[in-house]
Copies of this chain bind each other. A is one copy, B any other.
Amino acid sequence: MPLPQTEAPGRLVAELLSRGVRMTRQRRTILSVIETASQHLDAAQILRRARKLDPGIDRVTVYRTIRLLKRHGLVDELDLLHLEGEKHYYERHPQRDHLHMACVRCGKILEFESDLFERLKGQIQRDCQFHILVTRVEIGGYCAKCRGNSTDLRSV
């Protein structure tokens, strides 16, 4: 079903350079962390990993780099239904949108892409005359393992 997850490494660096953005040692480090992550990372996790590669990096630099990437549309921001705190999670802006399902019991995040969603976007652009730049779909519920053995005490 899904496309391969990995684009060429260094893609974020190349993309920013081609837009005339200055490239520093710290930015390269942070970009490589985001690019090689196999899961959604929050700012604190990005900082921790970046510091393993370059211990002097500051929290603020991580936040500023994330904002830079957002402004350029190169990363998407997720909340994952705030299942654990108010932090944000980041992922590379994908070629094709996908939905995020978060299990409110075990916290697992599933991703899903669907032609139906592409059709839905088309319907929105047509019926609402709305030009879509970014989508964020977060669905809470019980994953296959957790369904059945839970009361419906949702907290989202």
Identical copies in the complex: 2
In the complex, the answer to whether B129 meets A144 with C-beta atoms within 8 Å is: yes
Q: How far is the CA of A116 from the CA of B119 in the complex (A)?
A: 8
In the complex, the answer to whether A130 meets B116 with C-beta atoms within 8 Å is: no
Which of B112, B114, B127, B136 contacts A137 (CB under 8 A)? Answer: B136
In the complex, the answer to whether A128 meets B101 with C-beta atoms within 8 Å is: yes
Q: How far is the CA of A130 from the CA of B112 in the complex (A)?
A: 11
In the complex, the answer to whether A143 meets B123 with C-beta atoms within 8 Å is: no
Q: Which residue of B lies closest to A133 (CB)?
A: B141
23 contacts between A and B (CB under 8 A): A70-B155, A73-B152, A73-B154, A77-B82, A77-B156, A101-B124, A101-B130, A104-B133, A110-B130, A112-B127, A116-B119, A120-B120, A121-B139, A128-B143, A130-B141, A130-B143, A133-B142, A133-B154, A133-B156, A134-B139, A134-B154, A135-B138, A136-B137
**Shortest Cβ-Cβ A-B pairs, 8 listed:** A129-B144, A132-B141, A131-B142, A133-B141, A134-B140, A116-B120, A131-B147, A136-B138
